[in-house]
Each structure stands twice: as C-alpha cells, then as structure tokens.
Copies of this chain bind each other. A is one copy, B any other.
C-alpha cells in the first residue's frame, strides 16, 4: 500500500487521498475485504488532520468503494475493484487531457509537446 500526497498541490488534500485509495484498489494493493488504514493512522502518516482523511473516506463510502464496519474501520467492498479501475482511467485521463489541452493552447507544437512528455516520462 502506497500513498503519494503533495500538500503544495492545488488539488485538495482530501481529493488526493480519495484518488490514492482508488489507485491502490485498482492496482490490487488493497483487496476486497481489506480494512483501509484508520483516519488517525493515515492522518499521522501523511501529516494531515484526521478530519481531512475522514472527509476523503466519506467520499469513498458515497462512491460505494468502502463500507463502514462499525468499531472496526472501513472495508473495501466487493464492487470496489470494478469501480476503481474505471475511476482510475477516468481520473488519470482527464488530468492528462487537461494538461495537454493547455499545452496545445500555449502555442507549442505537437512535436515540442511530445518531447516534453517523453522527457518527463523518462526522468523521475
């Protein structure tokens, strides 16, 4: 299980947490029936306030990706893998599309953009 959170990003923290949980389920890092980390544990791990994590969890619950097990925590639902794999493609695709749309509106040529993409995809 892996979390990649950037507190300086314009994307709200709770939204980033939602995405990361989705990605973990989509890639099999979290499986059906698993308990996801508690709000307090994850909060201290990410140095984020537990309330912020809780907000992310409520969103995930609303999506049907996790369900509360009273007094135990939040459990990955049977429907989660299907939902999350779909969501992953949508979220990743949308953000790339948005960035490329901006790139093209900037006057850079498709070739320059392709080079930029390649340099990024290889580097980090």
Contact = CB atoms under 8 A, between A and B. Distances in A.
A45 interface: no
Could you say how many copies of this chain the assembly holds? 4
Contact of A121 (B2, B70, B71, B110): B110
B117 A117 contact: yes
A106 B9 contact: no
Given A71-B49, A102-B19, A97 B120 contact: yes
Contacts of A95: 98-99, 102-103
A100 B11 CA distance: 14
Interface string A28-53: 11000000000000000000010000
Interface in A79-102: 88, 91-93, 95-102
A86 B9 CA distance: 21
Contacts of A26: 106-107
Interface of A: 2, 4, 7, 9-11, 19-20, 23-24, 26-29, 49, 62, 70-71, 88, 91-93, 95-108, 110, 113-114, 116-117, 120-121, 124
